[in-house]
């Protein structure tokens, strides 16, 4: 199947299946793949060990600012780098986009930390073209936590359901008003992207001329 989109972004909270779907789509559509290099962040493991402190009243971690600034600078460097410019000559599928950086910053940073983050963010003067299609993967916090445990990445073991719910709430709020690109929303509690039938129907949906916001539900 030919990819009719210049760039497809797959987004959603940790454990929802972004990398799996992005990799499958790149293969099916004959596109280049651009994956987030989260494991290179030297602060991430320390941050996740700290997320047990997250509850409905607090969102701060002493490693949150360093973690988020590293991701911001890493993502900015990748989108400005030669590799991205080379990939951009062809169609791209990616498992993250730069817009989510502020989403996480607002969720995990204190107000003072966010002010500093925002100064750095604005100073980078990022001017990255909007994706041709955004695919937003959803599910509930309990399912995410189970998937994270199943994949067994050691430094993710301390992630809590309370933290995941905060991230889900932030994504929900962000995409509720998102209008920058066509948006395809998939609840992975109802759609199994590893199921050949579900995946085939998803490819058919993607091959349509998607405009605005679409909810993919093959059972409806």
**In angstroms, what is the C-alpha Rg of the chain?**
17
**pLDDT score recorded for residue 62:** 86
Residue 3 lies in a domain: no
Indicate if the pLDDT at residue 55 is higher than 80: no
Residue 170 lies in a domain: yes
Spatial distance between the Cα atoms of 106 and 147, rounded to a whole number of angstroms: 25
Residue 150 lies in a domain: yes
Residue 178 belongs to what domain range? 8-216
**pLDDT score recorded for residue 58:** 54
CA torsion sign for 50, 114, 133, 76 is negative
Strand (E) or helix (H) holding 105: helix 100-108
Task: Select from 96, 117, 77, 94 the least CA-distant residue to 171.
Answer: 96
Residue 173 lies in a domain: yes
* Residues 76-93 pLDDT 10s: 888 776 666 666 667 889
Indicate if the pLDDT at residue 16 is higher than 60: yes
Residue 207 lies in a domain: yes
**pLDDT score recorded for residue 90:** 75
Indicate if the pLDDT at residue 56 is higher than 60: no
**pLDDT score recorded for residue 114:** 94
Residue 96 lies in a domain: yes
Indicate if the pLDDT at residue 196 is higher than 90: yes
Whole-structure pTM value:
0.91
Spatial distance between the Cα atoms of 173 and 216, rounded to a whole number of angstroms: 19
Spatial distance between the Cα atoms of 201 and 181, rounded to a whole number of angstroms: 22
Average pLDDT over residues 13-23: 95
CATH number, position 194: 3.40.50.300
**pLDDT score recorded for residue 79:** 77
Residue 1 lies in a domain: no
Which residue in this structure is represented by tokens 């990255």?
128
- Count up the domains in the chain and report the number: 1
* Residues 122-153 pLDDT 10s: 998 887 888 999 999 999 999 999 999 998 88
């Amino acid at each position: 199947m030919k990819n009719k989109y210049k760039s497809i972004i797959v987004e959603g909270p940790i454990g929802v299946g972004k990398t799996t779907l992005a990799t499958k789509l790149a293969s099916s559509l004959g596109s280049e793949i651009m994956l987030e290099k989260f494991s290179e962040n030297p602060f991430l493991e320390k941050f996740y060990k700290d997320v047990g402190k997250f509850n409905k009243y607090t969102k701060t971690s002493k490693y949150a600012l360093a973690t988020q600034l590293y991701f911001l600078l890493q993502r900015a460097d990748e989108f400005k780098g030669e590799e991205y410019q080379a990939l951009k000559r062809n169609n791209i599928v990616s498992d993250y986009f730069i817009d989510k950086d502020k989403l996480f910053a607002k969720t995990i940073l204190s107000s003072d930390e966010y002010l500093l983050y925002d100064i750095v963010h604005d100073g980078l003067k990022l001017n990255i073209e909007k994706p041709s299609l955004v695919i937003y993967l959803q599910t509930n916090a309990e399912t995410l936590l189970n998937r994270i445990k199943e994949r067994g990445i050691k430094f993710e073991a301390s992630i809590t359901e309370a933290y995941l719910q905060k991230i889900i709430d932030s994504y929900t709020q962000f995409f509720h008003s998102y209008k920058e690109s066509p948006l395809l929303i998939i609840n992975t509690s109802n759609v199994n992207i590893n199921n050949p039938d579900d995946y085939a129907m998803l490819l058919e949906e993607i091959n349509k001329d998607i405009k605005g916001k679409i909810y993919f539900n093959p059972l409806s």
